[in-house]
Structure 1
Amino acid sequence: MVIDLNADLGEGFGIWRLGDDEALLDVVTSANVACGFHAGDPLNIRRTCAAAVDRGVAIGAQVSYRDLAGFGRREMDVDPEELCAEILYQLGAVDGIARAMGGRVSYVKPHGALYNRICRDPEQAGAVVAAVADYDRSLPLLTLPGSVVHEIAAGEGVTTVVEAFADRAYTGAGTLVSRRSPGAVLHDAGTVADRAVLMATEWVVEAVDGSRVPVEARSICVHGDTPGAVLMARAVRDRLVEAGVTLRSFT
């Protein structure tokens, strides 16, 4: 049993800090680095990439809608050509800095509203896939199971990798419960760790209606901006190791 453990990092901006990137990088195997559109800035990107390289953690570009004020979690209608260009811009920025630090971007993970949008919107999904294919079609794209982006990416020769969220509630249909709903984000480290083990060993997650939803994930996410994120990530890692799961980046 092998699983990747990823977290959203580098989400500070200027003098504002969000989460403990250094501590999380000691726990995770992949780092989704904010590209400056929903969070992050050149200095944060540089520091996060350098710290990830030092620890042998895989670097992913966490591309987003251009929405600093809304942290990339607001639905936006962006022309596909413009969205493709903005994804390319973000990929080039983070990969350039990562390479200067001795690493490179090895996968792509959309953030927030864009992540959810490309699960159901073929046009927006096509724009993201086109950007990845134009930049480097060998880069895998992280997404949920059942997303429309899987078929679109396959048509362009871009690999998709299924991930699951240990600290998010699921509907019976296998989608994430909206953050606007109570209980959408889980905060108890023990509960989150138990869910991660179930995801990694049985490929299922318990939905809010009590059903068990299949999630054949190769990567599990714990959010870096959640209060107590480091404690939660450590609990997840420890429980996975205890369960006999090997932690390794899918890249």
Structure 2
Amino acid sequence: MPHQLCAEEALALAERRDTPKLMAEAARLRDIGHGGLVSYSRKVFIPLTHLCRDVCHYCTFAKPPKKGETAYLTPEQVLEIAHMGAAAGCTEALFTLGDKPELRYQAARDGLARLGYDSTLGYLEAMAALVLRETGILPHLNPGLMNAEDLARLRKVSASMGIMLESASPRLMQKGMPHHGSPDKEPAARLACLAEAGRARVPFTSGILIGIGETRRERIEALLRLRDLHDAHGHIQEIIIQNFRAKPDTRMANAPEPNTDDLLWTIWSR
């Protein structure tokens, strides 16, 4: 087995700029561990709601309520998407949604009431069970922060769940930074959710978002926190390295994007 870097050795990678050499070393370790195996899952995305109580400065998924638009997909719409995915050969239904929008928007509370629910997580639980029962596609859930009770309920209707750590740096919560005003992006809360998932033995996906104001050292610190959680519980099935892209009509529309070298450096440092 390849040598696992200690925290000090891993943090020292932040000073390395020889990306091609780093890539070669990482490729060698990958081949030792996995050979030429590449795995993937055919999935259909089900955007249960675009409402979210957070206001991340780079996000285009979350949208405020609009007059005349429904807050949530109906059960019929959920099943229609799932059946289309099944017909296309998908085996996974990836539920995407904002974090507890009913805590911010009356439109979300009203929409849930019309559907017969009092929380987004309760409605998600029902829709995941519906898709699993009617199509056999395995739900993967990305609902944001969850406590032990939430995880126990949702575990019964899903194959796996996930939450992006994005960053372990509280600095990104400060005024003028991308997570300011987004309480669910508090690193301690996200790490606590990941730990609860481990204790509940829920297969979990996580990862980091690069290029939103963090340093390279902070990226490695976040990856080390994820490694520590997996070492403790063995539940993290996937680590995503997601690169920031500047998008129109967001607060970070004119922010610089990480270049290819920076993305490659981060992938191979992982």
TM-score range, shorter chain: 0.3 to 0.5
TM-score normalised by length of structure 1:
0.44
Higher RCO by CA contacts (8 Å cutoff, separation 6 or greater) = 1
Structure with the largest fraction of helix: 2
Larger radius of gyration: 2
TM-score for the superposition, normalised by structure 2: 0.42
